[in-house]
Amino acid sequence: MWCSLLLYPEKRSKPLAVALPASLTADLPHLREKTMKAGIIARAAAIFRVDEIIIYVDRHGVEDEGELLANILRYCETPQYLRKRMYPLSAFFKYAGILPPLKIPSHTVATSLNDIRDGDFRDGIVIKSYKDGSLVDLGLNKPFLIPKKLKKGERITVKISKINDSLKLSVVSREDVNVYWGYTVNYKHKGLVESIKDFNADLVIATSRYGRPINEILNNIKDAIQKSNKILILFGSPHEGLFEICKRFRVELSDIAHFIVNTIPLQGCETVRTEEAMLATLSIINIIPYI
């Protein structure tokens, strides 16, 4: 059943990104488990309206793991009706059938022309490009012609104007959509420091069991969030925390992060998995504006 965009909260006023290690799935022996973990990460990002997932190389030899993670995360974020066109058969997606659906606004759109409403947004893929127009698959009964030359294979977002029984389509950016529209995945085979610089955040929060307990600095973080424009949250790997990763690359964590915080004080388990730390941390970030 199609869900109105009115049911969804507005997108974040300030871009929120998370940085994850390329080795996130390296400790798992089978592609099935790797796929499931990536699916949990995708769900966590979508639940808490993360705008960008940055994957950084935390140690040598895990670059291929980073590619696997990036591809599965992108696949999860792509609307189901576009996946066959955007992702040809690949070993990456052998177990794609076990991935949990995100059900974000870009996925829960109308499946029939009769259900399209004036002002709807929708993602599509360019299937043919002409001199003065492009044919776009929007996952509806037929492809639509847009009077703009676009690159074949390009994924786009359109706004639909319904005039009587005809549809007028205009290409827009994600910034034009007034609700959370999904995340992007950024993986450039760079280390943690370079990835932070590329995102250019004015507030970087590192998560660590050796950080300050969240309850002790909650007000400081709240003030910093209110004053910031772009927020980046850093997470360590299954086997190494951010302190260990930074030490190997000869950088101090305190030099690249404004806060080092323990978002799960008094943890009952010896270790907390990255996906669990994501859920705990993002849930706190999510409610900070309301406390």
Domain residue extents for the chain? 5-101+182-290, 113-176
Cα dihedral sign, 157-2-81-184? positive
pLDDT at 3 over 60: no
DSSP result, 210-230: EEEEHHHHHHHHHHHHHH-S-
Give the pLDDT band of residue 4 (cuts 50, 70, 90). very low
pLDDT in tens, 216-264: 999 999 999 999 999 999 999 988 999 999 999 999 999 999 999 999 9
Rg (CA), the chain: 20
d(CA 72, CA 86): 12
Cα dihedral sign, 283-257-235-105? positive
Specify the pTM.
0.94
CATH of the structural domain 113-176, one choice from 2.40.50.140, 1.10.150.20, 3.10.129.10, 3.30.1330.50: 2.40.50.140
pLDDT in tens, 155-197: 999 999 987 778 899 999 999 999 999 999 999 999 999 999 9
d(CA 72, CA 183): 13
CATH of the structural domain 5-101+182-290, one choice from 3.40.1280.10, 3.40.30.10, 3.30.457.10, 3.20.20.70: 3.40.1280.10
5-101+182-290 shares its CATH topology with 113-176: no
Q: Is residue 83 within a helix (H) or strand (E), and if so which, with residue range?
A: helix 80-86
pLDDT at 5 over 70: no
